[in-house]
């Protein structure tokens, strides 16, 4: 048996389970560079120089440790959480603790041998950093605007909130300009942005967020796989007392990617013929409004996959050819 390391990721800590011919070993480390060094020493103490690491693609909290371990020469697999959940259900996995989750991830890695992961290339990594900085600035700006409109009475506080809001507004504009300048100066990103903005409902700002969050489109074999990465794959109920429950999305994926699809999908429901046709079909079936919006988000992501994978602009007459079907 080779050395397998399952990692359950949270914001502040990493639960580790190491599997090899000597047995199973558990350790908890902090999710920061100091913790990564602790992991190095732990492996060295066990005379291990290479492991196959497996963790879930649950968002940015796992990005740093993935890149660190890849840089140390380890094999790294970053797996859609839905796959590991299905594996756990097939094994009647019941315990829901961080240690048990790390154990399940390690077992999944041993049995299923998931594909190896590679970090983003430097251009996509920088674009993702810029995009996420912009999102943080926008959230801070909305927070200050909310405080200003909440009825604050103190004159000094109002002045300070106003100054800070204006500063954030300027930083948002500067960051948006930096993002677009960087895309314009990077041939691959510029070409992909031109493809994405050919999709009705997707503008330059959305295209930048999509490229940053999706990364290299070639790592996805098909559009449903990308939808699962975003957590937009349907989650149904088909047994016992749950048989009549409504189908929902899994939400086990990149929330950042889902977030940047909502407003474009709303626009596409009116202006994109493929998405609009889906909306109208679902309305005839009297589906709830939010279920229709989510389906249109998934459809839009399928279209994004189609144009990036084919390297051809959006054309509603080639729905099947580009695998736009949701």
β-sheet bridge partners, residue 15 = 8, 28
d(CA 237, CA 245): 6
81 touches 58 (CB < 8 A): yes
Closest to 57 in 3D by CA, of 107, 9, 121: 9
pLDDT in tens, 9-54: 999 999 999 999 999 999 999 999 999 999 999 999 999 999 999 9
Query: What local confidence, expressed as pLDDT, does residue 245 receive?
Result: 46
pLDDT of residue 103: 93
**CA pair distance 53, 109, nearest whole angstrom:** 8
89 or 234: which leads in pLDDT: 89
Q: What is the pLDDT of residues 170-208, one digit of tens each?
A: 999 999 999 999 999 999 999 999 999 999 999 999 999
Judge whether residue 209 has pLDDT over 60.
yes
Phi (first) and psi of residue 20, to 5 degrees = -160, -170
For 236-254, the pLDDT digits (tens) are 433 333 334 454 555 666 7
The fold of 4-112 is Nucleotidyltransferase; domain 5 (3.30.420)
Place of tokens 């902090």: 30
pLDDT of residue 32: 96
Q: Reply yes or no on whether the pLDDT at 321 is more than 80.
A: no
Report the DSSP pairing between strands 4-9 and 52-56.
parallel
Specify the pLDDT at position 241. 38
Check the CA dihedral 305-308-310-315 and report its sign.
positive
Q: For 255-279, what is each residue's pLDDT tens digit?
A: 889 999 999 999 999 999 999 999 9
Structure confidence by residue, pLDDT tens digits, 86-138: 898 887 766 678 889 999 999 999 999 999 998 889 999 999 999 999 999 99
The position carrying tokens 């709303």 is 266
Confidence of residue 235 (pLDDT cuts 50, 70, 90): low
Torsion 274-279-282-283 (CA) sign: negative
Strands 234-235 and 248-249: antiparallel
Q: CB-hemisphere CA count at 13 Å for 250? A: 23
Per residue, the 3-state secondary structure of the chain, as one string, reads CCCEEEEEECCCEEEEEEEECCEEEEEEEECCHHHHHHHHHHHHHCCCCCCEEEEECCCHHHHHHHHHHHHCCCEEEEECHHHHHHHHHHCCCCCCCHHHHHHHHHHHHHHHCCCCCCCCCHHHHHHHHHHHHHHHHHHHHHHHHHHHCCCCCCHHHHHHHHHHHHHHHHHHHHHHHHHHHHHHHCHHHHHHHHHHCCCCCCCHHHHHHHHHHHCCHHHCCCHHHHHHHHCCCEECCCCHHHCCCCCEECCCCCHHHHHCCHHHHHHHHHHCHHHHHHHHHHHHCCCCHHHHHHHHHHHHHHHHHHHHHHCCCCCHHHCCCCCCCC
Given the structure tokens 């926008």, which residue do they identify? 138
Quickly count: other Cβ atoms within 10 Å of residue 55's Cβ: 27
d(CA 263, CA 260): 7
| Cα distance between residue 291 and residue 301, in whole Å | 15
Residue 59: band (very low, low, confident or very high) from pLDDT cuts 50, 70, 90: confident
């Amino acid at each position: 048996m080779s050395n397998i390391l399952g990692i359950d990721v949270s914001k502040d800590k990493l639960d580790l389970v190491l599997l090899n011919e000597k047995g199973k070993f558990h350790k908890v480390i902090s999710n920061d560079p100091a913790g990564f060094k602790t992991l190095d020493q732990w492996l060295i103490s066990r005379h291990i120089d290479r492991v196959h690491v497996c963790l879930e693609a649950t968002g940015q909290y796992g990005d740093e440790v993935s890149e660190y371990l890849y840089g140390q020469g380890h094999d790294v697999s970053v797996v859609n959480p839905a796959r590991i959940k299905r594996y756990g259900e097939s094994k009647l996995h019941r315990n829901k603790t961080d240690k048990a989750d790390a154990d399940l991830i390690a077992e999944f890695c041993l049995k299923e041998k998931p594909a190896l992961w590679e970090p983003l290339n430097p251009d996509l990594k920088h674009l993702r950093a810029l995009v996420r900085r912009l999102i943080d600035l926008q959230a801070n700006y909305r927070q200050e605007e909310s405080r200003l409109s909440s009825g604050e009475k103190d004159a000094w506080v109002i002045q300070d909130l106003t100054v800070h809001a204006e500063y954030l507004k300027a930083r948002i504009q500067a960051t948006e300009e930096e993002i677009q300048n960087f895309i314009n100066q990077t041939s691959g990103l510029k070409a992909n942005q031109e493809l994405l903005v050919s999709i009705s409902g997707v503008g330059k700002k959305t295209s930048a967020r999509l490229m940053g969050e999706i990364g290299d489109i070639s790592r996805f074999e098909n559009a449903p796989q990308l939808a699962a990465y975003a957590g937009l794959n349907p989650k149904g109920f088909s047994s016992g007392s749950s048989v009549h429950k409504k189908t929902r999305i899994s939400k086990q994926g990149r929330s950042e990617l889902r977030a940047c699809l909502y407003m474009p999908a709303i626009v596409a429901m009116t202006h994109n013929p493929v998405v609009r046709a889906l909306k109208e079909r679902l309305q005839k079936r009297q589906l709830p409004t939010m279920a229709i919006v989510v389906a249109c988000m998934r459809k839009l992501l399928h279209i994004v996959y189609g144009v990036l994978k084919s390297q051809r602009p959006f054309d509603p007459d080639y729905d099947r050819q580009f695998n736009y079907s949701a």
